[in-house]
Structure 1
Amino acid sequence: MSKRIALTTYSVKPRGGVVHTLELAEALQSLGADVTVIAMGDPDIGFFRPVDVPVIIVPAPAWGDTLDERVFSWIDAMTKGIDAVKDRFDIVHSQDCISARAAARIRDAGAGFRLVRTVHHVDDFTTQALIDCQIAAIREPDDVLVVSDLWRRQLLADYGVDATVVTNGVRADRFASDISPERRSELRASIGASDAFLFLTVGGIEPRKGSEFLVDALGRLKARPSGRDVMLAVVGGHSFQDYAPYRERVLGSLDQHDLAIDDDIALLGTVSDDELPEWFHAADGFAFPSVNEGWGLVVLEAMAAGLPVVTSDIEVFHEFLEPDHNAIMTTTADAESLAHGMGRLVTDSELARRLAAVGPGVAARFSWEQTAAQHLAVYG
């Protein structure tokens, strides 16, 4: 008899860990696994996209004023939600610290399931309560998984946790599907980027995404004659954490970089699941100067779409990227280095074509079917 698996996640919004959860669940089911997704959200709305596995939506509590209030109220709500169905599962696999803490409470109270946790990355929390909560969510599970060797080494060094690496996946066929020239022109015209070199970034404006360096780099690039206007489209922005002060600071710096919303930067927010791949094909290049990532799934999505990428040189990216072979890698948190790297894409069309051509091959190495098979081996 196959094990009954619950994959738990704190949100129904299109964040990286949530996307990972849904893709993994559907890939597990395609291999014959009995899998259900449990998430926090509005049961009347559900996930940001249709899901092909059974889903349980736990009603989310009211949005607290502080991050501490939100985290602990959501842990309490998730505890009640999982407790109500705990006997239906042999394995509860949590994708975040909120659902992991909730599941650990129920397991410790006598539930018979095994608790697995994937640590995608470690957040830089500033209050002791959240720091302690995150540490517990790393140490409490029966098995801990990570998606990169960097984080395997980091968890062992920082927390004494011996984690297992399971690769991330990408639905390459979803992002490889091209769009018509008319649709490409329509999307670009909608943000005034008809003739500009359009850079795309995904993840909103957040400290972890290196947004301040991207804005600074764009301003430097604009000031240098290249024979072509340059524009940036930003997709995403939903987050459990409150990045409003950071966002206001970054957007408040536009004047000093001679940039303006709509003229140089298009804030697209959360786009529909169907529209997201279209923006990869509407853009000319992908910029992703993150300062901290668990893996960087969106980079693989861009590569699957044949979009040349410019990234930071954080260690985890070196697990699947090679500088100037399949990506332009720039010094982390260095706006001048990033501007230079982005400028190379704008001015060197042969380089851009070469990077675009090798990207799909990199993405093809990381399938969700392969990832699901690795999970099944862990589940036993």
Structure 2
Amino acid sequence: MRIALLTRRFDSAGGGTERDLIVTANGLRASDHQVSIFADEIRGATGDWNVRRVGAGPRLGRTLSLLRFAWTAAPAARRAGADLVLSFARCVGADVMRSGGGAHASYLRAARKWRGALGAAAMRVNPYHQVQMLVERQAFRTPGLKRVIAVSNFVRDDLIREFGLAPEKTVTIYNGVDLDRFRPAADSSERAAIRQKFIVPASARVVAFVGNGFARKGLGFLLEAWPLVAGGAFLLVAGADRQTDKFVRRASALNVGGRVVFTGPQPNIETIFHAADAFAMPSLFEPFGNVVMEAMAAGLPAMTSAFSGVAEVIPPSMRGFRVENPDDVGEVALRLGALFDAPASLAAEARATAEKFTWARYAKELNALIESIG
């Protein structure tokens, strides 16, 4: 079958959605499908992929670019001979929509939790966000839509509620994890070297927090809980945020600045996991949370939240680390205490859980879905 993948941006070296797209393309091609990629923006080398830019001509602002791509990408793919169109972006007219983030309207409602009432209201009236909601309403309610893929049941349930989708047409296919890249530290010297780099005592308990968008991912709540954490534990914060300085100042004001290390973005994020004893990300809104699965693949017991899709696949032995109300600092501290008391045997269980979610499994489930449509 000739399958077209639609994406706003193609970047063969990117992460997140860009990585998921490449993995999907490889999985489809391994099953003898012919794959073409249609993008609004193309970055880096395309390798041996057939990548085409939709909407030749001058670059437009992000709102107009979104509109143009949303209505022209699927027709362009069909004119090029596609038998099936699978969209990773908000596009009207696809046969299959893959949602990695849930309904945009749901995201905007949740944004009140970390942006405040005024900040969330400003987002909601912004033309770019208005257009995203307009496009996705049309995309998910198009009669020709055959299937919707969600990255978690958290997302699937949200889409069914928001757009009145038929449950039988909406499926969950969990992302995979790179088990070769994300693995337990090879030996204690690797762990010691990374801790030395970030000036963390070799004997300290260390929790890793990894991600961009600190407020949404619950870093503020972790910092508020840190003075309640006994034993001189350290928090390693890896990622980028425009308000990093605000979080640094908050840590200092809480008198835990000496135990919170902001590493900035790390190209080899697996090294942060190798320096840590556990992982924590009490998010306010997380459609899945690939980084949690990556931390578990590295052998770390993980704290997540009830607002994270990945919480669905956490083993029973780690459910005591799940935060029901991330803005309840007392609960966050309680869950951190349980995380610190976790038995060493949970390292193997964390790894075993991650091993169930391979990209090979993802490809098998995706191809089965495609065959059911074909």
Q: Same fold (TM over 0.5)?
A: yes
- The residue number in structure 1 matching 2:278 is 285
Determine whether 1:127 maps to 2:100.
no
User: Residues 6-45 of structure 1 correspond to what in structure 2 (within 5 A)?
Assistant: 6-10=5-9, 12=11, 14-39=14-39, 43=43, 45=44
Pair 1:32–1:183, CA change in 2 (3 A): farther
Pair 1:293–1:53, CA change in 2 (3 A): farther
Deviation (angstroms), 1:252: 3.7
Determine whether 1:207 maps to 2:192.
no
Deviation (angstroms), 1:192: 0.9
Amino acid across the alignment from 1:235: A
User: Residues 332-351 of structure 1 correspond to what in structure 2 (within 5 A)?
Assistant: 332-333=325-326, 334-346=328-340, 348=341, 351=342
Determine whether 1:255 maps to 2:246.
no
C-alpha distance in structure 1 between counterparts of 2:58 and 2:245, whole Å: 24
C-alpha distance in structure 2 between counterparts of 1:331 and 1:267, whole Å: 26
Pair 1:159–1:148, CA change in 2 (3 A): same
User: Residues 306-325 of structure 1 correspond to what in structure 2 (within 5 A)?
Assistant: 306-314=299-307, 316-325=309-318
- The residue number in structure 1 matching 2:115 is none
Determine whether 1:118 maps to 2:98.
yes
Helix, strand or coil for the counterpart of 1:353? coil
Pair 1:265–1:78, CA change in 2 (3 A): farther
Q: 1:230 aligns with which of 216, 233, 236?
A: 233
Identity among equivalent pairs (%): 24
Q: 1:294 aligns with which of 287, 304, 324?
A: 287
User: Residues 140-219 of structure 1 correspond to what in structure 2 (within 5 A)?
Assistant: 140=139, 142=145, 143-162=147-166, 163-176=170-183, 178-195=185-202, 196-219=204-227
- Aligned-CA RMSD value: 3.4
- The residue number in structure 1 matching 2:135 is 136
The 8 Å contact of residues 28 and 373 in structure 1, kept in 2 or not, is answered as no
Amino acid across the alignment from 1:209: K
Task: Give unpaired runs (5+ residues) of structure 1.
Answer: 108-113, 238-242
C-alpha distance in structure 2 between counterparts of 1:127 and 1:190, whole Å: 42
- The residue number in structure 2 matching 1:356 is 347
**Partner deviation per Cα, 1:252-301 (whole Å, 9 max, x = no partner):** 422321133xx3333333322xx222322222111111111222222111
Q: State the TM-score, normalized to the length of structure 2.
A: 0.76
The 8 Å contact of residues 326 and 355 in structure 1, kept in 2 or not, is answered as no
The 8 Å contact of residues 3 and 90 in structure 1, kept in 2 or not, is answered as yes
Pair 1:181–1:318, CA change in 2 (3 A): closer
Pair 1:253–1:63, CA change in 2 (3 A): farther
User: Residues 55-66 of structure 1 correspond to what in structure 2 (within 5 A)?
Assistant: 56=51
Q: 1:330 aligns with which of 323, 333, 336?
A: 323
Helix, strand or coil for the counterpart of 2:180? helix
Helix, strand or coil for the counterpart of 1:167? coil
Q: 1:270 aligns with which of 265, 282, 288?
A: 265
C-alpha distance in structure 1 between counterparts of 2:97 and 2:210, whole Å: 25
Helix, strand or coil for the counterpart of 1:172? coil
Task: Give unpaired runs (5+ residues) of structure 2.
Answer: 109-122
Deviation (angstroms), 1:185: 2.0
**Partner deviation per Cα, 1:53-75 (whole Å, 9 max, x = no partner):** 616385999999xxxx5344455
- The residue number in structure 2 matching 1:94 is 87
Pair 1:215–1:177, CA change in 2 (3 A): closer
C-alpha distance in structure 2 between counterparts of 1:215 and 1:57, whole Å: 45
**Partner deviation per Cα, 1:189-233 (whole Å, 9 max, x = no partner):** 111113232211221243321121122122332xx3x2xx32222
Pair 1:158–1:168, CA change in 2 (3 A): same
Amino acid across the alignment from 2:208: L
